[in-house]
Chain A
């Protein structure tokens, strides 16, 4: 018995040392990333002073964009979505609406609303996809840039691949059919392509629209949701985008461009083979594959991130739906890292192989597991009376303070730079939530992410139904 107690003591002490080391490593890393992000945002704002988006809007030299909007059973919202996309400020753009074999009357609704007729347009299947049943164009001149593709159901990735095949322009913009784009969204994300010809992909900030007022497909009043779960996600998004992706973009190590809104060079996407349709993290997988393609072929390239708020999306409002989403994201991350495991600690892939992929593997993927074991170890330690209360309290307080500090810094960064929440009350609420999320919410998300490992092991490949409440109008 004494031996067992000694053994447990050694295990717990070793794990405690590991946890402290991991904690220091993670926080030093986060701090470095935050510093890089801060510098990158300041630089972005400085460059912004010399950019007049009207010039991009009016120029014939601005590269044309094909906007790809895949839809599955979206009959209730598709008209508004298409109308909002058609009104975006951009000199030359086509909207390709892909009906991914919807079981409802999405196609009929779109045909009727936009006066569509089936065309004889040639479908060149550069990327292999499920069969296309028809390509429709509008008879109304104001919708001459709208192309509707009807295809057999094959999932979002397959629908996007069809859109890429049909597109005619050098840049393709992948969006979720339920995303709301700012009027100048395309003008802002195209700017990095103009600044540097080696840019192959650009992601933009996705903001949470729950609580905001939406009028005719536009966010007209920005407010924080009164509900707790969407508000927690606002903080998470701030941390992920402003403190995370901005920094990754600055060192050309950005691995994720949200499926809700991203702009890509079509020729590189085609050379990479388009979206992979048998993964739930197709957006991340494509970006990693584009990085890999350029690195392996010695093509100079950059993947950039634009910190301007350009896209709004509806966040899950219940724990059940949020759990499904986080589970899917984590399965997607795991799948992508397994597919591209060759890049891990491989110096051939530069910053990607030595920093980005190891970070996502060690901290993002296994972080929840390490954290959960930590909670478990603390429980056992308390039960066996092996926990030094003073050291535990100190560690706990320091970790919470660090977490809060990063959340608050992300909120402050947003406030200094883009100032999208005009109400002081909303800002104060965000700061309070940055503290509160550490007690309960964080632990739930850890559980969802751990469960994703189990689901991946079981071969679960589903997205999980994402029931949406709809925007406040």
Chain B
């Protein structure tokens, strides 16, 4: 959308001939095809030729003693920032060069020191869009900002510029993470895929519970077995909040090495840990945990019964048999839970006898 507007010269509604000329020059710079080598075979002339095109944009931008120079410059920056989300590959590279050429990066880093939080956040965001490594030290300082939006924009920008390698430094530097920051950063981290695992494992050394919890949760969602040893190692030493998340993560990863630890937490004195261990057992779908789950279904609290019932319904034939057996027990609550999950598993239960549909 923005690209077509730049190409057609209609990007700004309030424009004059100079604006149109500036945007036309930008269009030429971004979208003119250049060969790797010129006619004489010199490779370096590619960047030189790009610079020639950039000079054309500058000549349109800076006119001697013109009062609109600054306004035109701001307009050009706005258009270039809008383009960042629309272009890829070589065009994106050219755009990054142009930010540097027009000295827009110092403007962004200066904004990061502004007294108004929204200006600082904007500075961080723009620095991220400009993809220039020189902004990284400034962004790192912004990770300690008092304002959550500034910290989020700084972390996001660092991930955009530094890629997956910036992940563990960011997480080790942060002291706290709001759920919004977690939502924002997780998007980029999922984009890194399995490459993020080692960095998340490294960041689990953070002394802050929020950071540890975030790493554990994302590791579970990434589902990479490489994270299992670390999760198993940490689970006994962390606070309950991280323990809960670790159990869920181990369940999601679904590695058989987790079975003993899940088995251990099925007997925990903390009700929530028993529920989480049941959920993890359900995700693992292992028949090895069926007998423990059955005993929880029969003897435990209602909330644990529900979690154990659900886990049994996912634990294969043994789990289903266990639920079918529970239907005939005298305890009304056990019977109800068993019926619910048999029904959800698509197993028909009739009056006094049970008949599997599968």
A residues bordering B, Cβ < 8 Å? 46-47, 49-50, 55-56, 58-63, 119-122, 124, 191, 193-197
Which 9 interchain pairs have the tightest Cβ spacing? Answer: A194-B180, A120-B339, A194-B179, A59-B183, A120-B343, A46-B118, A122-B336, A120-B340, A50-B149
B residues bordering A, Cβ < 8 Å? 118, 121-122, 125, 148-149, 152-153, 178-180, 182-184, 186-187, 217, 221, 302, 306, 333, 336-337, 339-340, 342-344, 349
Interface residue from A55, A60, A193, A196 paired with B184 (Cβ < 8 Å): A55
Which residue of A is nearest B148, CB measured?
A195
Inter-chain contacts of A121 with B (CB < 8 A): 340, 343
Given contacts A124-B302, A194-B178, contact A61 B186 (CB under 8 A): yes
CA distance A193 to B337 in the complex (A): 32
Inter-chain contacts of A60 with B (CB < 8 A): 186, 221
Inter-chain contacts of A194 with B (CB < 8 A): 178-180, 183
CB distance from B351 to the nearest CB of A (A): 13
Instruction: Report whether B306 and A122 are in contact in the complex, using a CB–CB cutoff of 8 Å.
Output: yes
Instruction: Report whether A122 and B337 are in contact in the complex, using a CB–CB cutoff of 8 Å.
Output: yes
CA distance A197 to B183 in the complex (A): 13
Which residue of A is nearest B178, CB measured?
A195
Given contacts A191-B180, A194-B178, A195-B180, contact A58 B187 (CB under 8 A): yes
Q: How many A-B residue pairs have CB under 8 A?
A: 58
Interface residue from B121, B178, B340 paired with A122 (Cβ < 8 Å): B340
Instruction: Report whether B217 and A50 are in contact in the complex, using a CB–CB cutoff of 8 Å.
Output: no
Interface residue from A46, A50, A59, A196 paired with B186 (Cβ < 8 Å): A59
A-B contact pairs, 8 of them (CB 8 A): A50-B152, A61-B217, A119-B340, A122-B306, A193-B179, A194-B178, A194-B180, A197-B179
Inter-chain contacts of B187 with A (CB < 8 A): 55, 58-59
CB distance from A276 to the nearest CB of B (A): 24
Inter-chain contacts of A122 with B (CB < 8 A): 306, 333, 336-337, 340
Which residue of A is nearest B183, CB measured?
A59
Inter-chain contacts of A47 with B (CB < 8 A): 149
Inter-chain contacts of A61 with B (CB < 8 A): 179, 182-183, 186, 217
CA distance A196 to B343 in the complex (A): 39
CB distance from B216 to the nearest CB of A (A): 12
Given A61-B186, A119-B343, 14 more contacts at CB 8 Å? A49-B118, A55-B184, A58-B187, A59-B183, A61-B182, A61-B183, A120-B339, A122-B337, A122-B340, A124-B302, A194-B179, A194-B183, A197-B178, A197-B179
Which residue of B is nearest A63, CB measured?
B179
Which residue of A is nearest B210, CB measured?
A197
CA distance A454 to B152 in the complex (A): 55
Inter-chain contacts of A193 with B (CB < 8 A): 179
Instruction: Report whether A50 and B343 are in contact in the complex, using a CB–CB cutoff of 8 Å.
Output: no
Which residue of B is nearest A117, CB measured?
B343
Which residue of B is nearest A60, CB measured?
B221
